[in-house]
Amino acid sequence: MDEYTLKTKQWLEERYSQGVAEKRFKAHRPIYGFGVEPSERNHTNRMAIALSILRVLNKTEGRTLMDLGGGEGYIAALARDLLGYESMMVELPQAACDRARELFALPAESQDIHNLPYADNSVDVLVLSEVLEHLRDPFVALREAWRVTKSSLVITTQEAYPWNWERLSRHNLRNPNADHAELNHFHPDDFVALFGENVRFLNPSLIIPMQDETRISEEEAKRLVPELAAEIPFNPGSFGIMVVVDKMENQRPPRISDEELIEGLFSSRVSLPNEDRSSEVPSYNWPQLKQSTRDSDDPFSPMSDSWSQDQREHVLRVQRMFSSSDSLSFLPGFVATGLTLLASILRFALAPGSPVMKLRWAAGNFTMDRFRKLLGD
């Protein structure tokens, strides 16, 4: 394990141990219900992303599901409880795996996503939600995810942008020395280069008219979250991107209605004080282990076996940018800041919705800190 990943693992071990002794674990996602602490803020956005993922899973054929980097297990548990998947979770820190078992009775293993031990095509559906931006080498991690999944790969990241110049400007302003840093910033062309044309770019959550849990009630959130999770393509008004990669044709009729999905999302709650459910973990058969190490010198094989030269050059160029600890020399900091501001203005103007609605939303949200955060800064 490289130095950065080891440092991240140590930080996450501490993060996923917060509040455990008091049986009030501080959750990453809104596992206790909308607006209920102790959990990190921005419940509306987190629930919109979860609903977007669940909507895709609801119409995807498959029995087994693995959530890579699934935190305490929120999305994997929802997929199991609402849609009937045999869900399992893989995380870097052992503490997160312990929380998944204790809080959700989920099978969970601690593994490095850059080198998964599982056999090719051994899990029907894989989910990576808000993970790639934190990784040392996200393209190698995606190789592993693509290799292990049999059917579909569902990815979300808030660090994805509609214009490459916006991606470059935000990447130039990153802080690679921060704990659990957001190292990587993406553009849709990256995923086309990796996976070819069998990708769908969807909206995970709209920026406008987002309101966080301190400003609206749960009943208002029940109306707002489905609006934010609108089933539309990725666009300048999207807060991040959802990428769906289909290795085979696997669409199916919905397992449950959208109304049942929304109701299930909002009614799912972990008890406080926390109860230990690890004795309830089902005895799923974990995926078969891979039989040997890769026999290719190509770090992206077998995902890269069908790449064109243009695809390979794109991937290698972006990988070099990700791996550099320095700012982009051709883009001074003041220029990157100006471009980021310009991108925020353009995304506001081009976001779905009427001008009147967007201006009303802006008037109610305009503190610089809140406005920049909601615009993805």
What is the domain partition of the chain in residue ranges? 3-269+298-323
SS3 of residue 216 by DSSP: coil
Q: Give the Å distances, CA to CA, from 43 to 14, 95, 140.
A: 22, 22, 30
pLDDT for res 210: 92
> Can you read off the two tokens belonging to residue 363?
């008037």
pLDDT for res 372: 52
Is it true that the peptide bond before 38 is cis, omega within 30 degrees of 0? yes
Q: What is the pTM of this model?
A: 0.95
Per DSSP, 133 falls in state G
pLDDT for res 1: 83
CATH fold label, 3-269+298-323: Rossmann fold (3.40.50)
pLDDT for res 218: 97
Q: Give the Å distances, CA to CA, from 165 to 162, 171, 186, 321.
A: 9, 10, 11, 14
120-171 pLDDT, tens digit per residue, is: 999 999 999 999 999 999 999 999 999 999 999 999 999 999 999 999 999 9
Q: Measured between alpha carbons, how far is 137 from 4 in angstroms, rounded to an integer?
A: 10
pLDDT for res 375: 47
The whole-number mean pLDDT for each consecutive block of 10 residues of the chain, a chain of 377 residues, reads 91 97 98 97 97 98 97 98 97 98 98 95 97 96 96 97 94 88 95 95 96 94 97 96 94 97 98 97 86 74 93 95 70 86 93 93 71 49
Alpha-helical segments (H) within the chain: 3-15, 43-58, 74-83, 94-104, 138-148, 164-172, 188-195, 218-228, 258-267, 309-323, 333-350, 355-365, 368-374
pLDDT for res 376: 47
Which position has the token pair 């470059």?
168
Give the number of other CB atoms < 10 A from CB of residue 108.
26
pLDDT for res 331: 73
Contact between 239 and 45 under an 8 Å Cβ cutoff? The reply is: yes
Contact between 167 and 240 under an 8 Å Cβ cutoff? The reply is: no
Q: Measured between alpha carbons, how far is 355 from 90 in angstroms, rounded to an integer?
A: 43
Strands 123-129 and 64-68: parallel
pLDDT for res 374: 46
| Strands, sheet with 149-157, edge to edge from the N-terminal-most edge strand | 108-110, 86-91, 64-68, 123-129, 149-157, 241-246, 199-202
For residue 160, the cross-strand partners are 186
pLDDT for res 103: 98
Find, among 246, 139, 243, the residue nearest to 188 by Cα: 243
Contact between 361 and 348 under an 8 Å Cβ cutoff? The reply is: no
